[in-house]
Amino acid sequence: MYQLPEFTHNSTLSKIAILTSGGDSPGMNPAIRALVRTANKFDIEVVGVHRGYAGLIEEDFESLGNRSVSGLCHRGGTHLRSARCLSFHQSETRSKAAEILHKHQIDALVVIGGDGSLTGAHLLAQEHNIRVIGLPGTIDNDIFGTDDSIGFDTAVTTAVEAVDKISDTAASHDRHFLVEVMGRNSGALATQVALAAGAEMVIIPEHKKGIQEVSQMLAESRREGGESSGIIVVAEGGQTGWSYKLLEELQALGEDPRVCILGHLQRGGAPTAHDRILAATLGNCAIHYLLSGIDNVMVGINAGAVDTTPLVDVISARKSLDMANLTLIEELQR
C-alpha cells in the first residue's frame, strides 16, 4: 500500500467530468471506478466524457454512478474510450471546451492520460481558469513527477510473457530475436522487460547501441557457446518498425536474427493487481485533493507516497531513466 496524505476539505464540488485521452493503458478503468465511487460518497455528480477531448468538444457525455462502474476493476482499456484530438492544440478549440464545461455546470475536470493529455488539461486551467487534476496513465512510464504510471506494470508483465514464449523459439533454432516494445521517448518499459526476461541486450532511446556493437556482441556470444540464441529488447523510439532497419544492417554484417514487434499487444489485457491498486489509490486521492482546494496538479507516487506535482512542471520537465538498470542488464548477460 501507498502512504496516503492527510486531507482537509475546504472546497465544495457539485459536478465533475472525467475523460481518458491519448493511448489507452490498463488500469484506466479501475481509476474511473475509484473516481466515481469516491465522488458519490461526497454527493458529487460525475459525467464521463467519451473519446477524450474530441468527445468533450462534441458533448459526448455519459452520467456515471456506482452501478455504471461496477465490474470495471478487471477490464482492460477504458470504459470511456479514448482518442487523440489534434484540434485541441488550437486555442479556439480549448475555448469551446471551456464554454461547454461551464454550460454543463461542471466544477472540475479529471484527465487520465500521458503528457499530451496533461498538457491539454494545464492549458484549460491556465487560459480559462478551469479546475483540473491529472492522473498519469501511460504504459511508457515517462511522465515527470511520478515514480509509476497507470498501466506500466501490466505492459511490462504482458511483454515479458510474450518474450518468454519467443525465447523458446529462439533457443530451438539457435537464433537471436530483436523484440520491439513500445517506448516513444523513454526506455523505461524496454529496460524493465529486458531485466525481467533475462535479455542479452536492450537498445533504448537514451542509450542506443551502434550496429557494430550489437554485431560484436552476437559474434562473441557465438564464440563462447557455439550457435547461440537470445533476446535483444528494442524500444521503438517513436519509430515503429525500427527493428527491421537494425535487422537489415545486421544481416549485411553476416548476422541472421529475427524480428518480433509486440505493438499494441502491450496496451491490452486485464490490469495487474499492482495497476489496479495504483489506479484506485490515485483516483480516490484526486477527489480528496479537489475537495481540499488543490487543482492544476497531477496526482502521482513519489518514494512510496501519494503526492502532487504542478502540471506546469509535469509538462515542462522530462523524467530521467535510472541508467543503473542498464549496468545491471550488462552484468547479467553472458
Least confident of 60-64, 223-227, 270-274: 223-227
* C-alpha cell belonging to residue 205: 532511446
Residues of the chain with CATH 3.40.50.450: 15-150+271-316
Given this model, what pLDDT does residue 326 score?
Answer: 83
Q: What is the pLDDT of residue 249?
A: 79
Range name among 167-181, 187-201, 244-258, 314-328 with the lowest pLDDT average = 244-258
In the chain, list all ranges with CATH 3.40.50.460: 152-267
Per residue in 109-146, pLDDT (tens digit) is 999 999 999 999 999 999 999 999 999 999 999 999 99
User: What is the domain class of 15-150+271-316 according to CATH?
Assistant: alpha beta
Q: What angle do CA 224, 165, 254 make, to 5 degrees?
A: 40
271 has pLDDT over 80: yes
Q: Which residues are catalytic?
A: 140
119 vs 176: CA distance, rounded Å: 40
Among the CATH numbers 1.20.120.400, 3.20.20.410, 3.40.50.10790, 3.40.50.460, which is that of 152-267? 3.40.50.460
Q: Which pLDDT score, from 0 to 100, does residue 252 have? A: 81
Extract long-range pairs of 192-196: CB within 8 Å, 24+ residues apart: 192/156, 192/325, 193/156, 193/159, 193/160, 193/163, 193/233, 194/231, 194/233, 194/329, 195/325, 195/328, 195/329, 195/332, 196/156, 196/160
Question: Which pLDDT value is given to residue 192?
Answer: 96
Average pLDDT over residues 198-223: 75
225, pLDDT greater than 60: no
Between 334 and 254, whose confidence is greater?
254
Strand extents, DSSP E, the chain: 15-20, 45-49, 61-64, 108-113, 131-136, 176-181, 201-203, 230-235, 258-261, 297-302, 305-310
Predicted TM-score of the model (pTM): 0.93
Q: What's the confidence (pLDDT) of residue 211? A: 65
What is the pLDDT, as a whole number, of residue 237? Answer: 77
- Cα distance between residue 120 and residue 114, in whole Å: 10
